């Protein structure tokens, strides 16, 4: 977004689809590591300046449409009402458009006289007939270049300021980035993952990195343009994602939706005025915090904004703002399943979905859960309750078991479990400021 004469700063936001925490590791790809540090695409990594990397950002729900709705609205899913990627699940529905979308980030920015620009994937059901078609341009956007439906980089359709624009499958011409102890799902495999699946996942992992190279080019182009017009040092740049992604972890094939780190951790890098070079903040930051943070930067009175999240401007630029950080937060997800059995996997019965060819499924009706994640000094704890017939609970000590290999629910002091349960109950019913005021005594494992 770019300011008019009354405003003082610019904000650019890169939101990547399904980029997990591994995407921050320089050992995976020097080019992709370079890409993450927008200024470093022009200089060397050792000379990188003016960056903030909390490295502990989480999504409050690990699925595209609910997470993106949280980013846009600054609200938990139980407050914006988007449950999954379908219109019936409120994804880009009329209810979403009349409610949370009408109070989303660009609406407030427009009131502050900012010029706003959107390009890329919006919400999974955007452009559908039930969602108003391509003619629907959400309030607050001055320029609108949105993908119709889910992400695809060929044979796609754009809504360009409310008018349909089709693109084909000629790679050279139509490549979009150039143009602009577990829950039962993890216990289900009875055999090791077959070699065919391993090969598929390895190739998918490599393709994901290749796709990021085009993002690298896009970031470089934008940063160079900001330098050319002498706005780079007057611009905040955010680099983040809507959810993580797994490619074989815990024998789950390829998707998101799970409560584990590989699905709920996402990268976050920020540079801009007042942010010191090369600092890392360990306080947890959520995707629902992005909207209030940008509005805080833009000078909006946050007391007039209906969000559940915090502004993390005080964390990354304490010289500009005073503030405090949360010590725990909510992650929630509503599972999806088919009402009929998958004919290729009849033994599984109804209620499952997203099944791989070897009949390992990614989701189910009873993969519905709510978690409290606590980061309190040495106690890094995750507590999750499933809405299923087993009343299944998973608890992980993230300090001693960062890969979540051992569910310690039967080893933890019952008083700790009770305290986490009470925190969860409060968070699941919180609205607005009450989501920021939930407190509790420090837990000792």
Q: Where is pLDDT greater, at 118 or 365?
A: 118
* 3-state SS track over 158-205: EEECCEEEECCCCHHHHCHHHHCCCCHHHHCCCCCCCHHHHHHHHHHH
What's the pLDDT score for residue 349?
76
Beta-carbon contacts of residue 267 (< 8 Å; ≥ 6 apart): 16, 19, 20, 21, 23, 24, 36, 55, 57, 239, 240, 241
The catalytic site residues sit at 64
Q: Is the pLDDT of residue 220 over 60?
A: yes
Mean predicted confidence (pLDDT) in 412-440: 89
Which segment of 333-337, 375-379, 393-397 scores lowest on mean pLDDT?
Answer: 375-379
What's the pLDDT score for residue 32?
33
Mean predicted confidence (pLDDT) in 380-387: 93
Q: Is the pLDDT of residue 362 over 90?
A: no
Q: How far apart are alpha carbons 2 and 5 in whole angstroms?
A: 10
What's the pLDDT score for residue 184?
61
Q: Where is pLDDT greater, at 7 or 73?
A: 73
Residue 361, classified by CB atoms within 10 Å of its CB into exposed (0-12), middle (13-18) or buried (19+), is buried
Q: How far apart are alpha carbons 66 and 81 in whole angstroms?
A: 8
Q: At what angle do helices 290-297 and 64-73 cross, to 10 degrees?
A: 30
Mean predicted confidence (pLDDT) in 359-378: 84
For 275-325, write each residue's pLDDT tens digit. Answer: 888 888 878 899 999 999 999 999 999 999 999 999 999 988 887 777 777
Handedness of CA 219, 221, 222, 225 (dihedral sign): positive
SS3 state at 328: strand
What's the pLDDT score for residue 444?
58
Which segment of 157-166, 337-346, 390-399 scores lowest on mean pLDDT?
Answer: 337-346
Mean predicted confidence (pLDDT) in 397-415: 93
What's the pLDDT score for residue 38?
33
Beta-carbon contacts of residue 397 (< 8 Å; ≥ 6 apart): 380, 381, 408, 445
Q: Where is pLDDT greater, at 423 or 445?
A: 423
Q: Is the pLDDT of residue 47 over 70?
A: no
For 1-21, write each residue's pLDDT tens digit. Answer: 545 544 456 666 655 555 555
**Residue 445 burial (CB count, 10 A):** 15
Question: Residue 35 — very low, low, confident or very high, per pLDDT cuts 50/70/90?
Answer: very low
Q: E strands within 273-357?
A: 285-286, 328-333, 352-355
Helices (H), 53-194: 64-73, 77-80, 94-98, 105-111, 171-174, 176-179, 184-187
């Amino acid at each position: 977004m770019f300011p008019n004469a009354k405003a003082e700063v610019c904000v650019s936001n890169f939101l990547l689809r399904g980029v997990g925490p591994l995407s921050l590791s320089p050992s995976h790809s020097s080019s992709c590591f370079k890409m993450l540090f927008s200024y470093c695409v022009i200089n060397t990594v050792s000379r990188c300046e003016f960056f903030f990397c909390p490295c502990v950002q989480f999504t409050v729900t690990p699925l595209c449409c609910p997470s993106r709705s949280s980013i846009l609205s600054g609200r938990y899913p139980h407050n914006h009402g988007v449950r999954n990627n379908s219109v019936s699940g409120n994804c880009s529905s009329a209810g979403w458009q009349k409610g949370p979308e009408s109070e989303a980030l660009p609406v407030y920015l427009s009131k502050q006289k900012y010029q706003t620009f959107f390009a890329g994937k919006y919400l999974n059901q955007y452009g559908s007939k039930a969602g108003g078609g391509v003619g629907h341009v959400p309030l607050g956007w001055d320029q609108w270049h949105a993908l119709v439906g889910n992400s695809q980089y060929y044979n796609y359709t754009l809504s360009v300021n409310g008018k349909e624009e089709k693109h084909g499958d000629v790679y050279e011409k139509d490549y979009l980035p150039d143009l602009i102890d577990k829950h039962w799902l993890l216990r289900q495999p009875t055999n090791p993952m077959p070699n065919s699946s391993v090969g598929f996942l390895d190739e998918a992992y490599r393709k994901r990195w290749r796709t990021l190279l085009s993002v690298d080019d896009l970031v470089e182009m934008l940063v160079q343009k900001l330098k050319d017009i002498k706005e780079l040092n007057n611009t905040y740049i955010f680099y983040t994602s809507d959810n993580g992604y797994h490619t074989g972890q815990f024998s789950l094939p390829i998707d998101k939706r799970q409560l584990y780190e590989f699905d709920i951790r996402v990268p976050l890098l920020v540079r801009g005025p007042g942010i010191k070079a090369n600092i890392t903040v360990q306080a947890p930051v959520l995707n629902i915090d992005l909207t209030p943070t940008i509005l805080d930067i833009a000078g909006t009175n946050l007391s007039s904004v209906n969000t559940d999240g915090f502004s993390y401007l005080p964390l990354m630029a304490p010289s500009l703002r005073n503030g405090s950080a949360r010590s725990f937060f909510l992650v929630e997800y509503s599972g999806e399943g088919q009402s009929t059995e998958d004919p290729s996997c009849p033994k599984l019965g109804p209620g499952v979905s997203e099944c791989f060819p070897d009949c390992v499924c990614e989701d189910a009706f009873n993969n519905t859960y709510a978690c409290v994640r606590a980061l309190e000094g040495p106690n890094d704890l995750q507590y999750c309750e499933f809405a299923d017939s087993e009343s299944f609970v998973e608890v992980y000590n993230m300090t001693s078991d960062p890969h979540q290999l051992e569910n310690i629910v039967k080893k933890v002091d019952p008083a700790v479990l009770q305290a986490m349960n009470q925190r969860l109950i409060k968070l699941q019913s919180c609205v607005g400021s009450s989501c920021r005021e939930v407190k509790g005594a420090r837990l000792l494992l």
